[in-house]
Amino acid sequence: MKYKNIFITGANKGIGYEFIRQFISNDDPPSIIFATYRNASTLQDLKTLQEKSEITKVVLIKMDVNDPEEIEIARQIVEANVGEEGLHLLINNAGISEMLPIDQVTIENIEKHIKTNTIAPLMITTVMRPLLEKSAFQEDGHRAAILNISSTLGSIELTGTTLYSWVDPMVPAYKMSKAALNMGMRVSSMPLKEKGILIVMMCPGWVKTDLGNKEKAELTPEESISAMIKTIGELNADHHGTFIDRFGKPIPF
C-alpha cells in the first residue's frame, strides 16, 4: 500500500521523528509529510531532516494536539497542499506518559493523559476525515488509513500477566488512556469502513525514547519504526479496527 501524503503528530522527536527519517529515506518516498510539533525549542533535528529531504516535501506545522484552533489551522495547511488528492495516512503519534503509582494517582493526572492520549487523536481524526475520504476513493488505487500509536499497556486482558507487569501499577493513567484510545478508535472504525478508511491501533514495542525510557527500553527507534513501516505497507481490510504489534500480530484488547 502506497501512502503519498502523510500527516504525523508529535514529529519533532522520538517515534514521530524516526517515522519521518525513515519515510524520506525509502526508495519510493512519500510526496508530502506534514510534521507537527508543539514546542519550537525542540525543532532543530526536524528542520535538518526537512533540509536534507530531496524528494519528499516536509511541511512543519506548529500544533498542540489539545488546541482545536491549531488543529483546524493544520487541516487548512494540509488541504492547501494536497488539494483534491487528499490525505493518505494519518499517524496519531503524539502522547504523554507520566509515572504516578496507583496509590498516588490524581484526578489531574488521569485527566491529562485522557485528554492527550485519547481525546486528541479522536478529535484530530474527525477534523482530518474529509481529507482522508478524498484519497480513499481516488482511481489510482490508494486507500486512506489512520494509524494510532497505542501500547500493550492499554490491553486489559494482558494487565498483570506480562513480563513487565511490574510497570502496570506505576502508570495507571497512561494505561487507562491507551485502553480508552483503543475503544474510541474501534468504535470509529465502524462507520469509516464503508468510506474506505482503514483504522489500526499499533504498539511500537518498548522504545528508547523520552516517553519510553531511554535506559530500560529494549528497542531503538530505528528497530521499532522499520518494523512498523513494513507492517503499514502490508495492511489490508482484515486489519480494520484491530490492535496489533509492530509486526502485525494481534494484541488482545
Alpha-helical regions (H) of the chain: 14-25, 44-52, 68-82, 107-114, 120-136, 172-192, 221-232
Q: How far apart are CA 183 and CA 99, in angstroms?
A: 23
The mean pLDDT of 140-157, rounded to a whole number, is 88
SS3 of residue 250 by DSSP: strand
Q: Could you tell me if 145 and 123 are in contact, meaning their C-beta atoms sit under 8 angstroms apart?
A: no
Closest CA to 61 of 42, 79, 48, 78: 78
Domain 5-244: top CATH class? alpha beta
Segment 69-96 mean pLDDT = 97
- Ordered by start, the domain boundaries in the chain are 5-244
Per-residue pLDDT, 1:
66
Output the pLDDT for position 139.
52
Check residue 56 and give its pLDDT.
98
pLDDT in tens, 208-243: 887 766 667 789 999 999 999 999 999 999 999 999
- What is the β-pairing status of strands 5-8 and 144-149? unpaired
Report the pLDDT value the prediction gives residue 164, as an integer from 0 to 100: 79
